[in-house]
Amino acid sequence: MALLQLRHLTPHSLPLSFTSKLHHFRCSPLKFPRVSFSASASASTTMAKQVLVPIANGTEPMEAVITIDVLRRSGADVTVASVEKELRVDACHGVKIDADALIADCTKDTVFDLIALPGGMPGATNLKNCGVLETVAKKQAEDGRFYAAVCASPAVALGSWGLLKGLKATCYPSFMEQLTSCATAVESRVQQDGNVVTSRGPGTTMEFAVTLVELLYGKEKANEVSGPLVMRPKHGDEYTITEINPVDWKCNNNPQILVPIADGSEEMEAVMIIDILRRAKANVVVASVGDSLEILASRKVKLVADMLLDEAARLSYDLIVLPGGLGGAQAFASSDKLVNLLKKQAESNKPYGAICASPALVLEPHGLLKGKKATAFPAMCNKLSDQSFIDNRVVVDGNLITSRGPGTSMEFSLGIVEKFFGRQKALELAKVMLVVN
């Protein structure tokens, strides 16, 4: 059984996990010249592929956003389509996402190279019950083009439409029995059979998405995209979080946690933090640092906050935690209100944290890492005054928690769960999400 471990170290211990030499991330999708595609061509000589990602009320937001984000990093032209009557969908765990278009409006004239379905319940059922999507998916299969699904959707949607007959497929464990009636069910984290790719749940979605990049653009592009994600070296295996100067993180009942978001925030990081902490029953307040509740994240996913920061700042928090993304981190650093909240949090010896660009661009310049061990996005670590712990995937130093990037966001979030709720709760969540096998 894979376990989440917290190592308690002295300030003089310097455990290292792995060192990643990564290129600096970009905050907008890459563009590629329009030339004909061949299986061996790299994405730099390939026209952008058209991808449809349908979303519904009850969609699992981690699965949707990770798939969209990773595919857009590859240069794919991803259309996020609502199967509901409105663009805004109420995804699981209180996450609101605004789609790019309604499903009926974006499928009339576009031929998609890939259709990828996120899971979640009742999201998968809502996708299955969408007649327009069913028609488009069946045509996709008839024409020999790629289609994919994760979590409940392989069994609930693709299987119900008869699109997995004679194929090996996988899905979320509790839907495996249903899958056996419409496919050859296997327990792989990601399964490809012909033009179809299926996967198991939130914890396998990044692997799933990188596989889709390889399907569309080849291995070289998949490696190029996966590097800056800071993915786990061995998916599903035991992992550790590095802790020094351990202190108890205290709260009354369920912790109240502030997660600010802004234009340019990294949507995968934001959604994983929000989703996982709400699964643990934390009271998570998502606050927009801009003038609108809707923010346009780094890969153009439209997320909707619960309130503006001005309103959120009136409350007190057991933890303030910042997602990354270059534009978002810059917006955080420029917000006097947010910086003051963080400083008061630190002065009160209450927990605060950040991931990716935010430790380097927000915490460091405002003196919030003074005397602390921390990590950050690899290309940003040279901005940290103390770089002795930068190669660790998640670092907890007293009331501070920091981490590296999208691929460490689940470990980062589980580390927060463990500090507030205990090791057992974190392990239970890790298993439910398929983070560990």
Tokens of 66: 């990770």
Residue 379 contacts by C-beta under 8 Å, 6 or more apart in sequence? 22, 23, 24, 25, 228
Handedness of CA 299, 304, 305, 309 (dihedral sign): positive
The CA distance from 305 to 152, in Å, is 27
User: What b/e string do you get for 306-315 counting C-beta neighbours within 10 Å, with b at 16 or more?
Assistant: beebeebbee
The CA distance from 256 to 316, in Å, is 8
Contact 138, 130 (CB under 8 A): no
Q: Which residues pair with 243 in a beta bridge?
A: 8, 396
Contact 91, 60 (CB under 8 A): yes
Q: Is 356 an annotated catalytic residue?
A: yes
Q: Which residues pair with 117 in a beta bridge?
A: 149
The CA distance from 107 to 110, in Å, is 6
| Cα angle 11-14-20, degrees, rounded to a multiple of 5 | 135
**Closest among 214, 257, 237, 245 to 39, alpha carbons compared:** 214
Active-site pick, 106, 251, 356, 381:
356
AA identity, residue 238? E
| Cα angle 378-435-154, degrees, rounded to a multiple of 5 | 115
Contact 82, 102 (CB under 8 A): yes
3-state percent breakdown (helix, strand, coil) of the chain, nearest 5: 35, 20, 45
Order of all β-strands in the sheet with 196-199 = 101-102, 77-82, 50-55, 114-117, 146-150, 196-199, 190-193
State the catalytic residues.
356
